[in-house]
Structure 1
Amino acid sequence: MAGILEGASPGLLAEYLASRRPLVSVICTSYNHERFISASLQSVLNQTYPAIELIVIDNNSTDQSVARVEEFRQKQPEIQLIRNTENVGICRAFNQGLKRAKGRYVIDLSADDLLHPERIARQVAGFERLPGDYAVIFGNAAFIDEKGRLTGYHYPISPAGQATVNVPSGWVFKEILASYFVATPTMMMRKDVLESLGGYDESLSYEDFDFWVRTARHYRYYYQDEVLTSKRIVRQSLSSQFDTANNPLLESTLKVCYKAFDQCQTADEYAALANRIRWFIRECFYTEQFKLAFCFRELLEYMEKPDFRTALILRLCQWHIPVNSLYRNYVTWKKNRVFRRGALNAGI
C-alpha cells in the first residue's frame, strides 16, 4: 500500500482516502426555505468528512429557494437538484432523493437545519463500529431560533455537553411507542434499511413516527451522546402544525398507530401504545378533530377500556367545544417557558 501511494500528490492521496470511506448521501428537502437554505447547504459543504453526495429536492417553492441552491451549484456543480412542479409532500420528495442516492448511509436534512462540521465523520465512525443490526445512529440537538440564536437542547446537557437524562438506545421499539425521544434531524440511517421499507410511506403527511415504528421492531438504534446538529424552530414548521385545528398530521398518526398495533408482541408494548393513543385522543380534542378522536378510541378498545379521563375527553368531543385557540396560546406559553429554561441551563 505504501509503495503504491509513495510520491502521490496530496490531492490524489486525499481522493484515494475518500474513495475508501463509505459514501454518505445527504437528502435535503426544501419548501420556501429561502432565508435558511444557504446556511443549511453550507453546513454540508463544511463537513470534515470527504465522501458526501448532496441531493436537494425543491417542492415547488414560491420564494427564491431555488435561486439560492443554484448559487451553490455554480461553485459545486456536483450538487444534485430536483425541482418539483408541485408540492408533493415531505415523504414523496425524500423518496425522490433516495432513488438517486448512492451512499451507504443517508441523512434526511430539512433546509432550515444545520449540521455541525464533525457530524458526518463522527456518525460514520460510530456506525462502522456497530454490528449489522443497527439501522440508526442519533444524537442530541441544539435548538436555534430563526436568527440562529441558541435556545436550548433536545436533551438537557451538563457543562461537559453530555445529556443529563437517560436516553434509550439499542432495542427501542417500546420506547418509540411510549414517547417522542429521538431528535429526528440528528438521525443517520442505513440506506439498505430504507430501501427494504420502500422508503417513506407516501400516504402519510410526515415521516418520522412511521419510520421508527417500521424499523425499531427489527433493528437497533444507537444514541451517540454528542450535540452535532442544530434544529431550527420556526413558526411555520411542520411540527408546529400539530397544534392547529383540523391539521392532517393526526390522521397520519392514526395509520401509524395501527401499524404499531400489528407489531406489538408484549403486554408492555401494548400498554405503551395504549398510553400514547390516550394522549392522541386528547390532541384530537385540543385540535377540534372530534370524529378522529373516536377513531383512536376504536383502536384503544382493542387493548383496554378507556379510563375515566379519556372517557371524559371523548364526552367533551361529542359536544364540539371550540378549544383550539385557547390550547394554542397555552402551547406557545409553554414552549417559551421551556426555551427560557433551556437558555438558562445553557448559560445563554
Structure 2
Amino acid sequence: MPPPGPAASGAGLSARQVQVRSMIQAAGMLPVLVILAIGFHLLGGHRFLSVQNLSIVAQQAAINCVLASGMTFVILTGGIDLSVGSILAASAMGALIMSLVPGLGFLAIPVCLLVGLVIGLLNGALIALVRLPPFIVTLGSLTAVRGLARLMGADNTVFNPQLSYAWIGNDGVTVFPGVAIPWLAIIAVAVIAISWFVLRRTVLGVRIYAVGGNPAAARLSGINVPAILLFVYALSGLLAGLGGVMSSARLYAANGLQLGQSYELDAIAAVILGGTSFVGGIGSIWGTLIGALIIAVLSNGLILVGVSDIWQFIVKGLVIIGAVALDRFRQGSGVRT
C-alpha cells in the first residue's frame, strides 16, 4: 500500500523530522546503489562507470528486472514464487527447440511466452483454487519444471547459431555515436513502466495491494481474491517466459540444467531490497528496479575488483539475508514472516 502520510507516520515528530523521514523513505535503497557504484569504480581501476561497462551492467540487470517485476506482484499479495528460474529454463528450451523446426521458427517467442504463462497458471490454480501454500507449490515447481526443462532437451544444450531473434540479446538502439542502449535494457524498462502503471493507476493494482494487506478484508469488500492470485502467478510465469526469450537470445542456446539457476533468489533479493514487504501489501516497482540494479552492480563490481566466484556467492547470500533483516526492521519486530 502507499506509505502513510505525515499525520500517520510522524506522530510526535516535528515538521522537519517528518520531512526528513519522508525523504529517506522516498530515496529507499538509491543511496546504497550510488555508494556501491562509486566504490567499485574507485576499487576497480576506474572501469566501472565506463560506458562499455555500464552497458554490460544494464544487460546483466535486465533479466533480473523482468523476473523481479513478476515477483513484486506475487510478493505484494503475500506469496512467493520460487519457480521462476526453472520456468525461464523450460521456456528457453521450448523457444530453441521451436526455432530449429523448419518453417516454424517464427513461433519460437510465442512458444516461450506460452510455456511460462501455462506453468504460471498452474501454480496460480494450485494456490488460489486448491489453496495450497505458495512456498510449497512453487518449491515443487522449481524441481519439477527444472526436470521438464532437462527432459525437453534430452539433458543436452540446444544451440541455434542462426537464431532469428538473437538481436534482442545482442543488439541495441544507438543514441550517440559509440553509445547504444541494449534491447535487453529497453525491454526491462518497458516491463517496469507497465508494471508501475498497473500497480499505481488501475483498479487491479489497488486490489493487488488490498489482497496483500488483508485478504479477509479484501474478500469481504467484494474483491475476487482467487482471481487476483491467479493473475499474479500467471503474470510471474509469463515474465519468466519473457526472461527465457531474453536469455536464449543472448546465448543463442538453452540448457535445462544450468540456465536460470538461482535466478529466483536474485529476483526475491531485488524485490525485498526495493522495499516490498514479505508480508504483502507494501512496496513499489521502482524500488524493485533499484534492488535489481544493486544485485547487478554487486555481481559486476565484485568481478572487476577480482573477487573469486566462491566469494561472490557468499556475498550474494549475505545480501539476501540482509534484505530480509531490512524488511523486518522496516515493519517492526512484531511482524510475522
Asked if these proteins are the same fold (TM beyond 0.5), I'd say no
- TM-score w.r.t. the length of structure 1 is 0.26
Structure number with the bigger relative contact order (C-alpha 8 A, sep ≥ 6) is: 2
Bigger strand fraction: 1
Between structure 1 and structure 2, the one with the greater Rg is 1
- TM-score w.r.t. the length of structure 2 is 0.26
Bigger helix fraction: 2
